[in-house]
Amino acid sequence: MNRSDFSDTDPAVPRAMPAEQVFPGKPGLVRKGVLILVPGLILVVGSFAMAIIVALRVPSTPDRTIEPGLNSGFYALIGPPIFGLFIVFYGLFLLRQTRRVVLNRDGVHVHGLCSCTLVPWCDIDAVDRSKLNAIAVPASVPSIELLNAAGKRLEVVTDSVFGFEALADALIAGSSATTGRATFVPEAAEERRVEKGAKAIRLAAWAFVVFFLLTATIFALGVNEELHTRRYATEGVKVEADILRTWMVRVTPYVEYEFKDAEGNTISREAMMFQGKDWDRAQESKTITVEYLPSSPQWNRIVHGENSGALFGGKFLFLSGFGILLFGFLGGLAIMGYDLDAEPGKVKVLRHGRVIKEWGVNAKKA
pLDDT tens for 65-89 read 554 444 555 666 777 888 899 999 9
Answer yes or no: are the C-beta atoms of 181 and 188 closer than 8 Å: no
Examine the domain organization and report whether 51 and 1 are in the same domain: no
Domain interval for residue 221:
193-335
- N- to C-terminal Cα distance for the chain? 40
pLDDT at 363: 63
SS3 115: coil
Q: 330 and 254 in one domain? A: yes
352 part of a folded domain: no
Phi/psi for 92 (5° steps) reads -65, -35
The answer to whether residues 248 and 153 belong to one domain is: no
Residues 180 and 303 in one domain: no
Whether 147 and 111 map to the same domain: the answer is yes
pLDDT score for 34 = 95
Residue 254 lies in a domain: yes
**Helices vs. strands in the chain: H and E counts, helices first:** 6, 15
- Residues 85 and 8 occupy one common structural domain: no
**Number of folded domains in the chain?**
3
- Closest to 159 (Cα-Cα) out of 146, 171, 143, 181: 143
β-bridge partners, 256: 245, 270
| Integer CA distances (angstroms), 62 to 54, 288, 291, in order | 15, 18, 19
Q: Are residue 115 and residue 222 in the same domain, yes or no?
A: no
Residue 68: predicted pLDDT: 43
Residue-wise pLDDT tens digits, 251-287:
889 999 999 999 999 999 999 999 889 999 999 999 9
pLDDT(366) > 60: no
> Which of 97, 116, 140 lies at the terminal end of a domain, its last residue?
97
DSSP state letter for 26:
P
Considering the domain boundaries, does residue 358 fall inside one? no
Whole-angstrom Cα distance, residue 356 to residue 161? 33
3 and 150 share one domain: yes
What is the C-alpha to C-alpha distance for residues 74 and 50, in angstroms, rounded to an integer? Answer: 12
Tell me if 77 is assigned to some domain: yes
Residue 173: pLDDT band (50, 70, 90) is: very high
Mean pLDDT of the chain: 86
Quick one: 208 and 313 in the same domain?
Answer: yes
**Assigned domain for 177 exists:** yes
pLDDT score of 66: 53
The stretch 235-262 carries a mean pLDDT of 94
Contact 123, 136 (CB under 8 A): no
pLDDT of residue 147: 95
Do 127 and 249 lie in a common domain?
A: no
Q: For residues 15-19, give the mean pLDDT.
A: 56
Question: Chain-centre distance of CA 303, in angstroms?
Answer: 40
Q: Are residues 127 and 248 in the same domain?
A: no
- pTM, two decimal places: 0.70
φ, ψ (nearest 5 deg) of residue 81: -65, -30
Contact (Cβ atoms closer than 8 angstroms) between residue 51 and residue 68: yes
Q: Is residue 355 part of a domain?
A: no
Q: Is 349 inside a domain boundary?
A: no
Buried b (16+ CB within 10 A) or exposed e, 57-92: eeebeeeeeebebbbebbeebeebbeebbbbbbbbb
pLDDT above 70 covers a percentage of the chain that reads: 87
Domain-located, residue 342: no
Report phi then psi at 290, rounded to 5: -130, 160
Distance, in Å, from the CA atom of 46 to the CA atom of 347, rounded to the nearest integer, reads: 37
Phi/psi of residue 132, nearest 5 degrees: -95, 120
Among candidate residues 64, 97, 130, the one where a domain is terminated: 97
Helix axes 316-335, 186-235, angle to 10 degrees: 150
Looking at the fold, whether 175 and 204 belong to one and the same domain comes out as no
